[in-house]
């Protein structure tokens, strides 16, 4: 026997009208964040102070008032326990530290730092450039040292080579030569150093 659906007045007089049955609203996705402050509905609870001291079992309203008096939050840290365990803490600070820890140290992006010398640069200035190069290399950056030649200095390319070899020698504990000293143009000699990988 075929089941006959009972007709409503709308079905009888307005058969062309299609009534859409509204679906129940989907439950909002549960947050991973713990319940805190007024969202903690269960009572009593076990309470841990901001210093880690177990204060024992008490009514939630009392614990919340204690947290508010200290300018802190009441956070449910063990919801499965009976009664649940809640802690008085600075929740904003906890979230910040957790995010900071999860993101981890940022990867350093290697940069190319360039230092310039002249063929007539004195020893004190060379030592200053070497210290700067060491600082860059310790930060995991590459360093390119250029010796510039102007006018009559072009007759003393050997002086530029000596300077670059000195730089390489004094930085060999922290850097390796990626590009050996060489003339890049008629007016510049350079060497490229890269930090030693540890």
d(CA 59, CA 49): 14
Residue at which a domain ends, from 65, 99, 133 = 99
The enclosing H or E element of 160 equals helix 157-170
- CATH of residue 89's domain is 3.10.20.80
pLDDT for 156: 78
In the predicted model, what is the mean pLDDT of the chain?
Answer: 83
Measure the N-to-C terminal CA separation of the chain; round to a whole number of Å.
Answer: 84
Do 121 and 95 fall within a single domain? no
Q: Which domain holds residue 65?
A: 37-99
Please, what's the b/e burial string for 21-34 (b: 16 or more CB within 10 A of its CB; e: otherwise)? eeeeeeeeeeeeeb
- CATH of residue 175's domain is 3.30.110.10
Place of tokens 């947290």: 67
pLDDT in tens, 70-99: 999 999 988 888 999 999 999 888 787 777
- DSSP letter assigned to residue 196: P
Residue at which a domain ends, from 99, 121, 142 = 99
| pLDDT tops 50 at residue 24 | no
pLDDT in tens, 136-174: 999 999 999 999 998 887 777 888 899 999 999 999 999
Do 63 and 131 fall within a single domain? no
d(CA 70, CA 63): 11
Q: Give the number of domains in the chain.
A: 2
Do 125 and 191 fall within a single domain? yes
């Amino acid at each position: 026997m075929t089941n006959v659906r009972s007709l409503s007045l709308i079905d009888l007089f307005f058969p062309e009208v299609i009534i859409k049955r509204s679906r129940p609203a989907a439950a909002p996705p549960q947050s991973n964040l713990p319940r805190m402050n007024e969202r903690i509905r269960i009572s009593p609870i076990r309470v841990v102070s901001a210093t880690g001291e177990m204060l024992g079992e008490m009514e939630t309203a009392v614990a919340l008032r204690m947290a508010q008096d200290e300018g802190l939050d009441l956070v449910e840290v063990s919801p499965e326990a009976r009664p649940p365990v809640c802690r008085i803490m600075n929740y904003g600070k906890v979230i910040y530290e957790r995010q900071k820890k999860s993101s981890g140290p940022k990867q350093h992006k290697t940069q190319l730092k360039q230092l310039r010398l002249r063929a007539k640069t004195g020893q004190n200035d060379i030592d200053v450039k070497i210290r700067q190069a060491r600082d860059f290399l310790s930060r995991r950056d590459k360093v390119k040292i250029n010796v510039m030649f102007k006018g009559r200095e072009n007759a003393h390319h050997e002086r530029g080579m000596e300077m670059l070899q000195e730089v390489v020698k004094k930085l060999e504990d922290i850097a390796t030569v990626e590009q050996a000293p060489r003339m890049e143009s008629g007016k510049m000699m350079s060497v490229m150093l890269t930090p030693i990988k540890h």
